[in-house]
Structure 1
């Protein structure tokens, strides 16, 4: 009776495994091909095309020619670009921290056990799933200087409300306030982080004499730091892409007097109003570089302070 060594068996089974792996790989490519094709056509190609167009004088109507870095050089002397970038940074500086603080406050409130806890969570989350255009139209009525509910509430306490969207001084604060409307998504993330904080650490700190604020700053916040870092990074990225409410409420003009002209809106105007696609592509890539730099700085100076012990 002959016996087959383990080496011979492994040699015969290895081609079978390799052919099976190859077949599984091909079937995997087949089933994922719609997603891969869609990614290449609607993501990879537009990104690479915009990079190429940023070095050209391309418009929708007519030929284009290679002009090198002219679009990027023109941005340096473009006053409207610098104004739009300044307005974007202004809104970003206030909206991101305020959004994180509000989302954290709501998460802390919703983390308290009550009988109708699920109802409260639904109420605070609903605004974040509303269509942005519809919400912007609602805000146009809320901030109407004559009959808006916001100014009516201020009049009730003896304060004359500003013009909000029609004032060069209050247009940016108005959009900062509107940006806080959709903190429900971040609230859910922070609420999940709060529920992962070990209860025994809170109990131990309380036994040691720590009050509520000391337990919050020394126990809760360290465990929430990964979630807060995520909120900061995504808030920065979303802040540089803030567009729809400004477009809807200013009719795409950034009025009054350019006080609400932000960088994404200026990009849109150049691409679809002035048909300067090459110049708009250069703006897009400058914004991308700014976002990358800001994100790298956040990870460099804030990321190292994040506590991952609760992960």
Structure 2
């Protein structure tokens, strides 16, 4: 697997790049929206439902098909770019851009971590911000010194859950690439490669070994994440 399988190395590279890009961007976007909603506005339940909807639909086959049409060479994205005089590339068939379309799809599914962030923000006492304001702390300093430390358990939870989900991502890559992981293995997620070995080539033993490697990778990541919590996660005690 490690020494003689080039597709294994390609799948590992693509998957780790996808995780490294999609998870931080999704969490940052989710936290930003949660902070906006936490300021208080009318029809807040409606906004929460609207923003949460992509998390329910994002992993479906229908959304993956829609995404493929949006980023096709003659899709809506390129049509909008053409209105301002920009000739867009073929996002899906170009290996330089294909993975990033899946990253954008992942970030679009920010609703689930956003709801959790919003619940965490509601637990931070408002008098702490008032005291900081009286002491002359800027909004940025309040965010760095109050919001992030007190929200760190929620950030840690979302980070672990979303990273595991990113490692397990399958449907978008399968639908958008037509099951091939192309072009030039640029969207060959590890789970997609495992599927190919099991159900395209019927190498069930090898696919089982690939599955165990994925389990080990996720277990090592999770264990490492828990070991680092003492340096940046702050609980009530």
Q: Quote the offset at 1:278 in angstroms.
A: 0.5
For these two proteins, the number of residue pairs brought into alignment is 236
Per the alignment, residue 191 of structure 1 pairs with 118
* Alignment partners' CA distance in 2, 1:110 and 1:99: 16
Pair 1:134 & 2:62 matched = yes
Write out aligned runs for 1:60-209 (5 A).
Answer: 74-130=1-57, 132-146=60-74, 148-209=75-136
Match of 1:267 among 187, 194, 197: 194
Residue 237 of structure 1, CA deviation:
0.9
Say whether residues 1:239 and 2:162 are aligned partners.
no
1:173: how far off?
Answer: 0.7
Cα shift readout 1:230-272 (whole Å, capped 9, x = no counterpart): 1111122111111011111112110112111111000000111
List alignment gaps of at least 5 residues for structure 1.
Answer: 1-73
1:228 aligns with 2:155: yes
TM-score w.r.t. the length of structure 2 is 0.95
Rg larger in structure: 1
The normalised TM-score by structure 1 is 0.73
Deviation at 1:140, TM superposition (A): 1.4
Provide the residue aligned with 2:205 in structure 1: 278
Structure 1 contact 229–303 (Cα < 8 Å) conserved: no
- 1:258 corresponds to which of 164, 178, 185: 185
The offset of 1:91, in angstroms, is 0.7
Alpha-carbon separation, structure 1, partners of 2:4 and 2:113: 38
Q: 1:80 and 1:275 mapped to 2: Cα distance?
A: 16
CA deviation vs aligned residue, 1:129-154 (integer Å, no higher than 9, x gap): 126111111111211221x2222222
- Matches of 2:22 and 2:87, distance apart in 1: 24
Is the counterpart of residue 297 in structure 1 residue 236 in structure 2? no
State the superposition RMSD in angstroms: 1.4
2-structure distance, mates of 1:273, 1:253? 10
Say whether the 8 Å CA contact 1:103–1:187 is kept in structure 2: yes
Which whole-Å CA distance do the structure 1 matches of 2:110 and 2:60 have between them?
13
2:144 to 210, 217, 230: 217
Change over 3 Å in CA distance of 1:266–1:150 after alignment to 2: same
Task: Classify the secondary structure of the residue corresponding to 2:121.
Answer: helix
**C-alpha distance in 1 between matches for 2:4 and 2:162:** 29
Distance in 1, matches of 2:72 and 2:219, equals: 37
Deviation at 1:303, TM superposition (A): 4.7
